[in-house]
Amino acid sequence: MLKKFSESIAKNDYYKAWLKDAWPYLTGAILLSVFQIVTIAVTGNPWGVSAVLANWGAWIFEAVGGSVDKWYYFSSSAARETLANGPLRDPGTMRNLGIAAGALFSALIASGFKVKKLKSWRQVIAAVIGGLLMGYGARIGFGCNIGALYSGIASLSLSGWVYGVFMFFGAIVGSRLLVKYFM
């Protein structure tokens, strides 16, 4: 019975259009714009992801006995208040967890979630190095593609457009390096 149900859902046109197939870019752009407006209205800050990761690191560091009181990044009263409130009362944490849960849900509902066998340890090393470089770049650039690009452009900031141009060229260079050395 379950097999019959899943076969009937897979043939459903609404399932294919809304959950299985990719949405048009225009739909994605409109939804990103709406989410940006809601985020600014609710939190008073533009949409960002990577700053919250720094807070997570501070919460973990403090949980094992460390102190970030003397660190410049956490010296402002707003940063201290965010750390004092904890992760469960942080809108950025809730947003990041929602993004991860939503991405997992979307992959599962579209039957796109797969656990793949690693091709080689070079692939793992490249992923770790790439992730660390992207995270480091996001923090020193005061934002990832969400904060620096989407929020920058939505705030009518020139920096968002500059970030977008260099992200485009960086993606080209990174893709060529990936293909040349790891594929």
- The domain of 159 spans 116-183
Is there a domain that residue 47 lies in? no
Judged by average pLDDT, the poorest of 12-16, 49-53, 71-75 is 12-16
Q: How confident is the model at residue 1 (pLDDT cuts 50, 70, 90)?
A: low
Q: Which pLDDT score, from 0 to 100, does residue 87 have?
A: 93
Q: How confident is the model at residue 172 (pLDDT cuts 50, 70, 90)?
A: very high
Tell me the C-alpha distance between 76 and 69, whole Å: 10
* Residue 71, Ramachandran bin (φ over 0: left; ψ between -120 and 50: alpha; else beta): beta
Is there a domain that residue 75 lies in? no
Number of domains in the chain: 1
Q: Are 87 and 59 in contact (CB under 8 A)?
A: yes
Closest CA to 39 of 150, 140, 167: 150
State yes or no: pLDDT of 127 exceeds 70.
Answer: yes
Is there a domain that residue 38 lies in? no
Transcribe the chain into DSSP letters: -HHHHHHHHHH-HHHIIIIISPPPHHHHHHHHHHHHHHHHHHHSS---SHHHHHHHHHHHHHHTT---TT-GGG-SHHHHHHHHH-GGG-HHHHHHHHHHHHHHHHHHHTT-------S-HHHHHHHHHHHHHHHHHHHHTT--IIIIIIHHHHTT-HHHHHHHHHHHHHHHHHHHHHHHHH-
Is there a domain that residue 178 lies in? yes
Is there a domain that residue 74 lies in? no
Work out the average pLDDT over 41-48.
80
Work out the average pLDDT over 76-95.
90
Is there a domain that residue 120 lies in? yes
Is there a domain that residue 179 lies in? yes
State yes or no: pLDDT of 98 exceeds 70.
Answer: yes
Is there a domain that residue 72 lies in? no
Q: Are 150 and 31 in contact (CB under 8 A)?
A: no
The pair of structure tokens assigned to 30 is 């409109």
Q: What is the pTM of this model?
A: 0.69
Q: How confident is the model at residue 144 (pLDDT cuts 50, 70, 90)?
A: confident
Work out the average pLDDT over 46-68.
89
